[in-house]
Structure 1
């Protein structure tokens, strides 16, 4: 594949995800979270099977479309199930510490996946080559096996109040999707706190996504070619572990701000702006990695305060749809930020692009401080 074809494949994934994000969030609110999530897992398994079976561009495009389809299906499903189950079991308990543990588990999973996915081709690549496969197919085969485990675990461990499964109920569930989406959008527009939160998160992703995507191109010239790829792999895993550490610290930091989650969010965004500028100014690998780890820890802290505010403002019947709306707005912000950062980096440099991105974090800080006043009552 040339770079244009690779870009097209990721474009197929992004477009599919964004186009289906809200409808399937609404479907999860209509017919239940568990069946929609299980359908997402099946879509992911199909995508992996297609990816392993071919090198044809058009089939791979279908595989990437299925990845986007699965992403859109699962967005906000088990998240909503978890919050609702938690609130039913502990109605007067702050959900934020529990969300922090979920975020920690998510980041640890990403870190382990990044590490193991990098090791497997080196360990079993020669075996795969002797069988006529690519060395990287080993990682995808392992992913397929883990996904089967997810399917079985979800069927056994996730317990949801069954909803009507007859054809008419399912048809009505699909028919209700536009109404659910309309209600969620109206809620976001009519609820000032939600509108401000979603805008702040969009600016947050506009600033931070270019750092997450572009950082290897900034770090690699600081490294010797002989070990650059290994260091990049180790730093990638460290990035996810650092996010996990930040998530685990989030409840303690929230207590410092007396569980005023909007104030925690404002302080976190302000710290991120400062660290992002510091990261951009680093000229050697030790300073860069140190700043990048600190940046990742603060990123981990930022997730759960935002989620806590959102769940506080939304009822169960709209929770999945609102989580999908949040995901969609964040993806749009991330895409816009990446385009802007790419253009600025091309004209000037990556550090300049990151420093300009810090301005978006300052805007997010201002919006979060407005949110503090909105949520005060």
Structure 2
């Protein structure tokens, strides 16, 4: 690996780790913060729905915005909105106020979506040379930084309110769970400055038309969907993203209620935080394992992903029948290891055929499809868990994963994978002395 590629991975890895740590500090305590403000459980569901809908509605237009006007600019705009959201969560005292800031939270996520990822891929292709490293390995390295950042943020989210409880005890306008959000304000500002100074802007921006923003965005989105229609590999890959979103959301949605039946959720609250952090550590471990495992499969990503999706389905069936704490923890963490292994090869296949000028838009479309699947899956999983059981909901998810794994046998995917494998195996085969 050349010095320039290594430096690029470190730079983007640290940017991803920073924003992931900020997100990790929010997610584990956001429900506790809402409860401390008197928000009821059904109101929390409405807040989550509002944030998801605003993200889904804005993600593709803002992906087009990034491609048209600059990916770094769009990312920093997302950080500015996130800063307003963090201050709003701290300041808000009513359900109506929180709805406004959850809409802004969805807007922030939409601005973030795919921008830094697309910028990294673009700059990697500029600095990399044949025979050094491939895109999947580089993305896996950056994703390790991201997962570690999430884990570190999750751990500190539970520690900061305790360590600095004297702040909430001393000031009436700062609640116990709000202490961490106060700390996030300077952290976000520092991260914005670092991103501004150390990350270069995209060289692949579209030509600025300027007269009609909505017409420009519509044109960019239309061209992205034209790419999907013209290239037969994108439709099955996006279908897999949708199905995976439908199935995997049941884990994210129901593991806490299930764990609360195995332990005393009040006395063992630390365990929820530790598991939340460990799942990102496990995904980072999986990212590291993806590189040697891809070589076992001779860089044939479709075969590799078929096996991984099938194993994910089997693990969901095993997870559904766990009745003791240790078995629950082991299978829960194994699931996230397998997810981590799957991320880089799936991403590399998707990136392979994307035109450079439409990369952010296509990544936003990919995220939109996955979130649409997650929204549908959450409704199905919630209904199933309520009227039947959590175990049945996870069994259905396992069945869906096993069936969807065979989509990797479709000719459009398998042929792309074989073509990529030929190039990669030729590039990285040992050179004769």
Which category of TM-score, normalised to the shorter sequence, fits these structures? over 0.9
Q: Does 258-267 or 225-234 show the bigger shift?
A: 225-234
1:1-377 matches, within 5 Å, as 1-92=39-130, 93-132=133-172, 133-161=174-202, 169-171=209-211, 175-225=215-265, 227-370=267-410, 371-373=413-415, 375-377=417-419
Q: Distance in 1 between matches of 2:397 and 2:227?
A: 29
Contact 1:125 1:136 in 2 (8 A): no
Q: Distance in 2 between matches of 1:199 and 1:91?
A: 33
Contact 2:67 2:205 in 1 (8 A): no
Contact 1:220 1:232 in 2 (8 A): no
Contact 2:204 2:357 in 1 (8 A): no
For the residue of structure 1 that corresponds to 2:233, the secondary structure is helix
Shift of 1:225: 5.0
Change (3 A) 1:230 1:164: closer
For the residue of structure 2 that corresponds to 1:192, the secondary structure is coil
Change (3 A) 1:165 1:365: closer
For the residue of structure 1 that corresponds to 2:336, the secondary structure is helix
What TM-score does the superposition give when structure 2 sets the normalisation length? 0.83
For the residue of structure 1 that corresponds to 2:299, the secondary structure is coil
Q: Distance in 1 between matches of 2:98 and 2:265?
A: 31
Gaps of 5+ in 2: 1-38, 420-433
Gaps of 5+ in 1: none
Q: Deviations over 1:212-257 (max 9, x none)?
A: 2210111121114563212111111111111111111111111111
Q: Distance in 1 between matches of 2:175 and 2:302?
A: 48
Q: Distance in 1 between matches of 2:184 and 2:57?
A: 25
What TM-score does the superposition give when structure 1 sets the normalisation length? 0.95
Shift of 1:38: 1.0
Shift of 1:269: 0.6
C-alpha RMSD of matched pairs (Å) = 2.0
Q: Distance in 2 between matches of 1:21 and 1:311?
A: 18
Q: Does 82-91 or 155-164 show the bigger shift?
A: 155-164
Change (3 A) 1:237 1:161: closer
Q: Distance in 2 between matches of 1:96 and 1:289?
A: 29
Q: Distance in 2 between matches of 1:29 and 1:280?
A: 42
Q: Distance in 2 between matches of 1:170 and 1:38?
A: 21
For the residue of structure 2 that corresponds to 1:376, the secondary structure is helix
For the residue of structure 2 that corresponds to 1:55, the secondary structure is coil
Q: Deviations over 1:111-157 (max 9, x none)?
A: 11111001111222342133012111111122222211220111011
For the residue of structure 1 that corresponds to 2:79, the secondary structure is helix
Q: Distance in 1 between matches of 2:128 and 2:96?
A: 49
